Structure 1
Amino acid sequence: MSFYQSPKSISAYDAKFEAQKIAFAPVSFQVARCLSQFGLLAQIDKAGEAGISLTELTNNNDLSEYAIHVLLDMGLSMGIFWCKDELYRLDKTGYFLLHDDMASKNLNFIHDVCYQGLFELEASLKQGNAAGLKHLGDWDTIYPGLSQLPEQTKRSWFEFDHYYSDHAFDSLLPMIFKSQPQHIVDVGGNTGKWAFACTGYDANVNVTIMDLPGQLAVAMENARNNMVDGRVFPFETDLLDPSKPFFEGGDLYWMSQFLDCFSKQQIITILKRTVAAMKPNSELCILETYWDRQPYEAGAYCVNATSLYFTAIANGYSRMYHSKDMLKMISEAGLYVDEDIDNIGLGHTLLRCKVKP
């Protein structure tokens, strides 16, 4: 699949319309969200082929006719639904906005976590820091503050993060356990979902989660709730501080959707610290969504858009990487890729790495 099109692939007329869509994109986003939040999409969907009128929608909602009408008019222009004989029916785009989990998770993440902060994208790009993070809290990066976010914002962040990783778990577990690791080190383990998936898959494996104090507190509470706290262990550290400890001697080191949280130089430093901690026969498994490895253009679009969340909100310097950039960093850190598997879950790639002889 090519992500690049020749200039002749779209007419000037269509290109001009696309430019206007970009100019009004924040309006389109908010209209789509309001149609969903107010239940209008669901009501139009329920009406089916028969359709539903403006009067019926107004009678069924607390909103004024004016409020509903302006949303409907813009929704028509956006192709969310269509209208015949003054009856509204859901179109395909509206159907996926309403029923597609990915669209729902992405929409909530952008609204609750990113929307206000993205206004600071220009400043973030100029200054090299996450100027938009101030809309969420007073931290240098978002990670120490994840456990302190408002409940709705925190829910949207974790649902977005887990949605993409969780879809890969079922196919990943047999791959990870084919080497029969006895001790897995989950680097940046967050709430512990991967650790619990591992302990559920193999009754003999132990997992150590390396993370910041706030995330570890949540992970260990979840471990107790899952009754695996005797097999899941915390290891508090700051991976950006070379004076902090790094867990040594694990059979398999696991980094899932983790390295995209760091700059290139930070990634190389973390990987070098991992190499120093590994035994000669240890493995490092890296799971990421690389924009150039996506099976569909929609995936690449979402992955590249996520990079700007890192720029404006998360930290100001990390991104979703091209796979060739990651392979170079892995090699520079003293590792080689023993296995390279694409199309896991929702566009993930697994790189199984070993220390260079």
Structure 2
Amino acid sequence: MSTLNKKFSPSRQSAFEARFEAQKIAFAPVVFQCVRFAWKRGMLQAIADAGDTGLSVDQMAATGRWTAYALKLVLETCLSAGVVYLDEGRYVLDKAGFVILTDPITQVNIDFNHDVCYQALFSLEESLDQEKPVGLKVFGDWPTVYEGLSRLPEAARTSWFAFDHYYSDTSFPDILPDVFATSPRRLMDIGANTGKFTLAALAANERVALHLVDLPGQLAVAEKNLEAAGLRERASLHPTNLLDFEAPLPGDMDLIWMSQFLSCFSEEAIASIFRRVADALGPRGQVLVLDTFWDRQRYDIAAYCLINTSPYFTAVASGNSKVYESADYVRLAEAAGLKLVTTRDNIGYCHSLLRFEKA
């Protein structure tokens, strides 16, 4: 199977440059917190508002919004990170700072890493050793984050859903023609979450009936959203723990949909899900898998973000899942009696759509 994988560029660093890059890694947590502080507390916006003339520390301190000490400490770190630059003693916003202030996906990523991942990643080593989300203990006592999503404290809950929805929602308008290409009447949404895909599918096709599969907590939220939209009658709810390998799925499905779902599980669990999905298909039924595969990205920056999302799955989500390569899904699907029919890339920000049918 061909991929769009663009390998990270080979190293052309000198020994001195390599040492500098290594120090950036060593101090990355410090830089992250200082830059986030400058953004959240309005320092970067104040500098942006001053335009090319910039602002001095004295000018900013005179407003009473920040102390001179806080300004010097935080803005010097921003300077070292290329977020601002100095021009005759005045701080001016640099291009990276402009991105932080204006780019929604950057802001979503910062919030997610701070509110959901930061404290939990302190337990990454233990999580890897045990293949359990040990870092999840900072939020609650659940076996995986999915059982606790509806009970996550703020701002972790808001940042989690913002991260999840921002990546997936941009894809939904683009994939609905794929969803209805085979004119399905019985469509199963596995990992339905809050029901966003279900709502989009029901709105796009008046004849389709949706079957939502997820944990009870997520389905309770989805049900409220369906009721609010007046679409509850066309949806059936199937509370299911997919980690129970014996839990069956409703059958005779024309199409089974899974979006950003399988990456929540280990390879063993994915293999089990594919087996049950194959059993749930009706005659000529198909499976659509929409996900973020780091090996199918056009640009290194997308692959970088996806690869570095994987430690969240280890420390917080499940302890044994990750952002996978597309070949992993294909291999596990084929072992379950499915075969890949088509692949479509460049959907939304970074998604690919895999279409399977029974072999």
The two structures have a TM-score, normalised by structure 1, of 0.97
1:66 to 64, 69, 90: 69
Structure-2 change in CA distance of 1:265 and 1:62 (3 Å): same
Deviation of residue 2 (structure 1)? 3.4
Deviation of residue 98 (structure 1)? 1.1
- Deviations 1:259-287, CA, capped at 9 Å, x for gaps: 00111111011000011111121111001
Say if 1:280 and 1:355, in contact at 8 Å, map to a contact too: no
1:327 to 321, 327, 330: 330
Matches within 5 A, 1:141-180: 141-180=144-183
Alignment of 1:92 with 2:88, yes or no, is: no
Q: What residue in structure 2 maps to residue 309 of structure 1?
A: 312
Structure 2 residue runs without a partner (length 5+)? none
C-alpha distance in 2, partners of 1:247/1:235?
8
Which of 121-130 and 160-169 deviates more?
Answer: 121-130
Matches within 5 A, 1:1-357: 2-7=6-11, 9-356=12-359
C-alpha distance in 2, partners of 1:231/1:152?
33
- Deviations 1:297-329, CA, capped at 9 Å, x for gaps: 111111111110011111110111111111111
C-alpha distance in 2, partners of 1:5/1:80?
24
Say if 1:288 and 1:350, in contact at 8 Å, map to a contact too: yes
SS in 1 for 2:322: coil
Deviation of residue 30 (structure 1)? 0.2
Say if 2:61 and 2:68, in contact at 8 Å, map to a contact too: yes
C-alpha distance in 2, partners of 1:194/1:78?
39
Deviation of residue 56 (structure 1)? 2.3
Say if 1:133 and 1:313, in contact at 8 Å, map to a contact too: yes
Say if 2:248 and 2:276, in contact at 8 Å, map to a contact too: no
C-alpha distance in 1, partners of 2:130/2:64?
46
SS in 2 for 1:280: strand
Amino acid at match of 2:154: E
C-alpha distance in 2, partners of 1:330/1:39?
49
C-alpha distance in 1, partners of 2:239/2:60?
54
- Deviations 1:159-198, CA, capped at 9 Å, x for gaps: 0000010111111111211111112110010000000111
Superposed CA RMSD in Å reads: 1.2
Say if 1:116 and 1:132, in contact at 8 Å, map to a contact too: yes
C-alpha distance in 2, partners of 1:322/1:248?
29
SS in 1 for 2:224: helix
Post-superposition, which runs of at least 4 consecutive aligned residues in structure 1 deviate over 2 A? 1-7, 59-63, 242-245
Amino acid at match of 1:269: S
Size of the aligned set, in residue pairs, is: 355
SS in 2 for 1:292: helix
Structure-2 change in CA distance of 1:61 and 1:206 (3 Å): farther
Deviation of residue 59 (structure 1)? 2.7
Question: Higher relative contact order by CA 8 Å / sep ≥ 6: 1 or 2?
Answer: 2
C-alpha distance in 2, partners of 1:139/1:301?
29
Deviation of residue 61 (structure 1)? 4.5
Deviation of residue 17 (structure 1)? 0.7
C-alpha distance in 2, partners of 1:249/1:152?
41
C-alpha distance in 2, partners of 1:242/1:127?
21
- Deviations 1:81-130, CA, capped at 9 Å, x for gaps: 11111221111111111111111001000111110000011111112211
C-alpha distance in 2, partners of 1:135/1:98?
29
SS in 1 for 2:245: coil
Amino acid at match of 2:162: E
Amino acid at match of 2:204: Y
The two structures have a TM-score, normalised by structure 2, of 0.96
C-alpha distance in 2, partners of 1:2/1:177?
31
Identity of aligned residues (%): 43
Structure 1 residue runs without a partner (length 5+)? none
Structure-2 change in CA distance of 1:322 and 1:243 (3 Å): closer
Which of 232-241 and 249-258 deviates more?
Answer: 232-241
Say if 1:210 and 1:247, in contact at 8 Å, map to a contact too: no
SS in 1 for 2:283: coil
SS in 2 for 1:321: coil
